[in-house]
């Protein structure tokens, strides 16, 4: 046993004196799994290193953005060049146009896009735009889908809130949340009833097409198909929240995946984040030219941001998109992810542990239960204590998974076959 002081513990004690809970985003606190958070000093490819110098195989990837791994040469070069030229100008730059063009070229459902700095900002703005474009107030979200920490969206949200067993947030007035209708994910009966009752008052329906904040739960094809039909019938806008899935599960996002399964499918509005910034604070929302024309300075729906489309973030995002658009990238990434999930399932079966798993592109999830859950209620029946033991068993063996059973995992292009083998070896030992 090492006699060296634990620098992670020392840093955590310092942090708790000056930052609420010692963290700047709740799930980082390890409250769900127990123990001391790892304070990360650097990343390199598929690895991150903590304050003690310990190396971990990274399956968080900054919660999705690091699809190329940490420190990809092309991305580093682009960011360094942009930083020398200037951090922020508060004025338009050509690179903002280039990034918008690159996004639109890969997402045919959108004709225009507005760049912002965070996923929360993008979802908040998309709902405001939907209300402004339709003249309606109500909207539907689904239990277990997390769309950021805007007041109206913190209604039975998943992710960090679920980690603490708290279905809503203090500080959200009832009168703010009264226009939010929360339905069960993948429940067609509830969907039909909600539209029958509120259809003409609905501005939009917002959904994570593959929910990554109740681990990994995908919307069924019949559910997405019927949602599209009902939104069209009642004049509500169908909003795909692809902050997590965008350019992570497929080059055109989850909507490209569903378009292959549902002929002619496309959402009315889309929200992106994470991968389009390559690890920098950057997100976007977009739609048809007609819908986007309601947005200031053209229309009466106001949205603004000092650092929106800043030069360093756009350089990072543009370089990332150029790399992942190369031929064969997603085929290779998907193969790596399936190798990992198939291997984990085999290892669990060898050890007699209930286990189910699913993946798409470079995003995956697993549950310590025999069948994949279809909604948040079922996810909540997962054996939490067994997951916590597994998490720490993997962490002790140098594998960094999300510190909560409600979070999806991410594979990067930098993960090698040796990394995957080492992960499966660690899982074999941890599950014993």
Output the DSSP codes for 378-428. HHTTS-HHHHHHHHHHHHHTTEE--SSTT--EE--TT--HHHHHHHHHHHH
* Cα angle 291-295-299, degrees, rounded to a multiple of 5: 100
Q: CA 302 → CA 150, 179, 296, 298, 306, distances in Å?
A: 16, 20, 5, 10, 14
Beta-carbon contacts of 187 under 8 Å, excluding residues fewer than 6 positions away, are 375
CB of 390 within 8 A of CB of 159? no
Query: Whose structure tokens read 């790399």?
Result: 323
In this structure, what token pair is assigned to residue 130? Answer: 């939907």
Q: Which residues belong to the active site?
A: 146, 241, 274
Query: Distance between CA atoms of 227 and 324, rounded to whole angstroms?
Result: 30
Find the helix or strand (DSSP H, E) in which 118 lies. none
In this structure, what token pair is assigned to residue 94? Answer: 């050509």
Alpha-helical (H) ranges within 86-178 are 94-106, 119-134, 160-163, 174-177
In this structure, what token pair is assigned to residue 219? Answer: 């919307």
Question: Exposure pattern of 231-255 as b/e (b: 16+ CB <10 Å)?
Answer: beebebbbbbbbbbbbbbbbbbbbb
Query: 368 φ, ψ to 5°?
Result: -85, 60
In this structure, what token pair is assigned to residue 317? Answer: 């995002």
Query: 162 φ, ψ to 5°?
Result: -65, -30
Beta-carbon contacts of 219 under 8 Å, excluding residues fewer than 6 positions away, are 185, 186, 207, 208, 209, 210, 211
CB of 360 within 8 A of CB of 251? no
Indicate the DSSP class of residue 265: -
Query: Distance between CA atoms of 36 and 15, rounded to whole angstroms?
Result: 12
């Amino acid at each position: 046993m090492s006699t060296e002081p634990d620098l992670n513990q020392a840093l955590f004690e310092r942090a708790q004196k000056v930052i609420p809970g010692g963290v700047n985003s709740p799930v980082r606190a390890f409250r769900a799994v127990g123990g001391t958070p790892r304070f990360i000093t650097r990343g390199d490819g598929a690895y991150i290193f903590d304050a003690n110098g310990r190396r971990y195989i990274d399956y968080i990837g900054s919660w999705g953005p690091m699809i190329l791994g940490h420190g990809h040469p092309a991305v580093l070069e682009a960011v360094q060049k942009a930083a020398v030229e200037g951090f922020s100008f508060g004025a338009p730059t050509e690179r903002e146009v280039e990034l918008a063009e690159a996004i639109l070229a890969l997402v045919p459902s959108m004709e225009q896009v507005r760049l912002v700095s965070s996923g929360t900002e993008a979802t908040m703005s998309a709902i405001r735009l939907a209300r402004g474009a339709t003249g309606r107030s109500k909207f539907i979200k689904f239990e277990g889908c997390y769309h950021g920490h805007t007041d109206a969206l913190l209604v039975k949200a998943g992710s960090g809130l679920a980690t603490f067993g708290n279905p809503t947030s203090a500080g959200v007035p009832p009168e703010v949340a009264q226009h939010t209708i929360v339905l069960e994910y993948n429940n067609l009966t509830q969907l039909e009833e909600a539209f029958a009752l509120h259809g003409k008052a609905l501005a939009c329906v917002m959904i994570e097409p593959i929910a990554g904040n109740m681990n990994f739960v995908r919307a069924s094809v019949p559910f997405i198909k019927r949602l599209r039909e009902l939104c069209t019938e009642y004049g509500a806008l169908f909003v795909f929240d692809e902050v997590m899935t965008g350019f992570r599960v497929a080059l055109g996002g989850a909507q490209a995946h569903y378009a292959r399964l549902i002929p002619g499918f496309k959402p009315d509005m889309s929200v992106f984040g994470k991968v389009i910034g390559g690890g920098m604070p950057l997100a976007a929302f977009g739609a048809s030219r007609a819908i986007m024309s309601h947005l200031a300075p053209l229309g009466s729906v106001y949205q603004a941001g000092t650092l929106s489309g800043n030069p360093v973030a756009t350089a990072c995002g543009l370089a990332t998109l150029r790399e992942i658009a190369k031929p064969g990238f997603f085929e290779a990434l998907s193969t790596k992810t399936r190798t990992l999930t198939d291997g984990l399932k085999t290892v669990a079966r060898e050890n007699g542990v209930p286990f189910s798993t699913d993946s798409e592109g470079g995003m995956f999830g697993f549950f310590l239960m025999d069948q994949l859950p279809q909604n948040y209620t079922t996810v909540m029946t997962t054996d939490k204590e067994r997951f916590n033991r597994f998490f720490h068993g993997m962490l002790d063996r140098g594998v960094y998974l999300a510190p909560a059973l409600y979070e999806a995992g991410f594979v990067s292009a930098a993960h090698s076959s040796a990394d995957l083998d080492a992960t499966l070896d660690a899982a074999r030992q941890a599950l014993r």
